[in-house]
Structure 1
Amino acid sequence: MIKYHIDKNGNRIAYKKVKGTRASVIFYGGFASDMNGTKANALYDFCQKSNIELTLFDYLGHGSSSGNFIDYTISDWHENCLEVMENLTYGKQIIIGSSMGGWLMLMTALSMPQRVSALIGIAAAPDFTEDLIFKKLSDTQKNDLSSLGIIDFPSIEEIKPQEKLSNCSYKITRDLIEDGRKNLLLDKGNINISCPVRLLHGLNDKDVPYHYSITLAEKITSNDVEIHLIKSAQHNMSDDYSLNIIFKTLRTCLKSN
C-alpha cells in the first residue's frame, strides 16, 4: 500500500514498505521511473518472502510523488534520498541503485556513510547528464537548450524504428544539466566509499555502457568491490535471469552483514 511522507518543504514523497527482521534495504529507481516498475515489484516480492525490511519510494516529479518532473535536478533527488533515509528507515541500509539510482546511491554513501552497509549498483549511471546526454547533443540541440531551457532528448525523429520499443523521449532541462555538473563523480581521482560494493551490468546495455561500472570500480576506494557482467542483459535488467542475479547478490550482502 502506498503511503506518503511530507518533507520539510511540504512536498509529498510516495513510498511503500516491507517489514522484516533480517536486514534493511532501500531501492533507488532510475531516471523517470517509479516504484511500480518490474525490478521494484520483483524486489518487493522477494523481500516480503525473505523477511527483509525494504523501502521503495518515488523521487519528486516521479510516480505518485508530488511535483513536475522537469522542475527537479540531481541535487533535488539526492535530497529526497537523504530525506527518506533519515525519516523512513533506521539503522544501516543496503542501497540498491538502478541506473540514475546508482549515481544517487553513491552520493548517499558519501553523504551518510554511517548509514550504509553495502551498495548494489544495477547498470549504475553516475554523471549520465553530462556524458550520456549533454555530450551527445548536436550543436543545434545545445543552442536550443541554452536559449529555451528545455529540449526533448532524444527527439522522436532521432529514434530508429527498431529501437522505439526500448527508448522514449525525455524532457531535459538546462537546470538538470548544470546541476549535474556540480555532482560529477567519475572526473574525480577516487570516490571515497569504504563499504562493500557490487556492480551488476549488462554487456548488451545500449544506454549505459558497461565500462561505466569498470571505471566506477577502479575509483571507489573500498577494496571490497566486485563487478558482475551479464552478457545477455540489456539496460533495464528486468528479465528473469538478471533478477535472479540481483537477488543472489542481495543474499550475499545479507550474509556479510
Structure 2
Amino acid sequence: MTDFITTPEGRRIAYNRSAGEGPGIVFLHGLKSDMEGFKALALEAWAQAQGRAFLRLDVSGHGASGGVFEDGAIGDWFEDARAAIRALCTGPQLVVGSSMGGWLALLLARDCPELVAGLVTIAGAPDFTEDGYVAAFTPAQAAALEAQGYVDLPSEYGAPYRITRRLIEEARGRLVLRAPLRLAIPARFLQGTADTAVPVSVALQLFEHAEGADIRLTLVKGTDHRFSDPDDLRLIEATVGEVLSRL
C-alpha cells in the first residue's frame, strides 16, 4: 500500500515499505520514472522472499508524489531520498539507484555516509545534466534554455523532457565526478553495453573516479538502459545479495 510522508522541505513523498530484517534495501528510480517499474517491483519481491526490509519511493514531481517535474532539481530529489531514509528506515541501508537514482545514491553515500551501508547502481547516470545535456546542446537549444528558462528534448520513452535552467544550474553544486568520491562501503556498478542513454564510458569514468577498497563494475553485453530483462533482474538480485553478504 502506498503511504506518504512530508519532507522537512514541505514536499509530499509517496512510498511503499516492507518490514523485514536489516540492513534494509532502498530503491531510487530514474528521471521521469517512478517506484512502479520492473526493477523496483522485482527487487521488492526478492527482498520480501528474503525477509529483508525494503523501501521504494517516488521523488517529488514523479509518480504518486506531490510536485511538478519541471519545478524539481537534483538537490530536491536528493533531499527527498534523504528524508525518506531518515524517517522510514532503521540504521544504514543498502541503496540501489537506477539511472538518475544512481546519482542520488552516490550523493547519499558521499554526503550522508551514516545512512548508507552499501551501494548498487544500475545504469548509473552521475552528472548527466552537465555531461549528457549541456555537453550535447545545439546552439539553438542553449539559446532557448537561456531565453525562456527551459528546453524540450526528445525522449525515446515518450513525450519530450522539459529540461529547465534550474535543473542544470542547481545540479552544478551536486556533481560527483569532479571532486573526490570516497566510497568506504561495498559498491557495485551495473552497466549494459547497448545503453544509448548512459554510455559505457560513464560507467568506466565512475569506476575509475570512485575511491574505495570494495568497488566492482559489471558490464553486460547487449543490455540496454532499461536493464529489465529477466536475466538483468536476476543479476540485480544476485548483486544486491552479494553486497548484503559483505555487510
- TM-score band by shorter chain is over 0.9
Q: Render the CA deviation track for 1:185-205: whole Å, top value 9, x for unaligned.
A: 2123x3122111100000111
Counterpart-to-counterpart distance in 1, 2:158 and 2:99: 14
Find the counterpart in structure 1 of residue 176 from structure 2. Answer: 185
SS in 2 for 1:23: strand
SS in 1 for 2:172: helix
Counterpart-to-counterpart distance in 2, 1:169 and 1:230: 28
SS in 1 for 2:177: coil
Query: What letter matches 2:172 in structure 1?
Result: R
The correspondence for 2:219, drawn from 186, 208, 229, is 229
Counterpart-to-counterpart distance in 1, 2:177 and 2:8: 31
Query: What letter matches 2:80 in structure 1?
Result: N
Instruction: Map 1:35-54 to 2 at 5 A.
Output: 35-54=35-54
Find the counterpart in structure 1 of residue 167 from structure 2. Answer: 176
Pair 1:134 & 2:124 matched: no
Contact 2:153 2:161 in 1 (8 A): yes
Q: Which has the higher strand share?
A: 2
TM-score by length of 1: 0.93
Counterpart-to-counterpart distance in 2, 1:10 and 1:146: 29
Q: Render the CA deviation track for 1:100-136: whole Å, top value 9, x for unaligned.
A: 0111101101121122111001011000001111111
Give the Å deviation of 1:150. Answer: 1.2
Find the counterpart in structure 2 of residue 115 from structure 1. Answer: 115
Stretch of structure 1 that moved more, 32-41 or 4-13:
4-13
Counterpart-to-counterpart distance in 2, 1:22 and 1:195: 16
Find the counterpart in structure 1 of residue 240 from structure 2. Answer: 250
Contact 1:47 1:54 in 2 (8 A): yes
Aligned length: 247
Give the Å deviation of 1:10. Answer: 3.1
SS in 2 for 1:33: coil
Find the counterpart in structure 1 of residue 14 from structure 2. Answer: 14
Counterpart-to-counterpart distance in 2, 1:15 and 1:34: 10
Contact 1:95 1:116 in 2 (8 A): yes
Query: What letter matches 2:240 in structure 1?
Result: L
Find the counterpart in structure 2 of residue 214 from structure 1. Answer: 204
Runs of 4+ in 1 over 6 A off after TM superposition: none
Percent sequence identity is: 36
User: Structure 2 vs 1, CA of residues 9 and 182 (structure 1 numbering), >3 Å: closer, same or farther?
Assistant: closer
Counterpart-to-counterpart distance in 2, 1:180 and 1:224: 27
Return 5+ residue gaps in structure 2 as ranges.
none
Contact 2:192 2:225 in 1 (8 A): yes
Counterpart-to-counterpart distance in 1, 2:241 and 2:103: 22
SS in 2 for 1:254: helix
Counterpart-to-counterpart distance in 2, 1:129 and 1:107: 15
Contact 1:22 1:51 in 2 (8 A): no
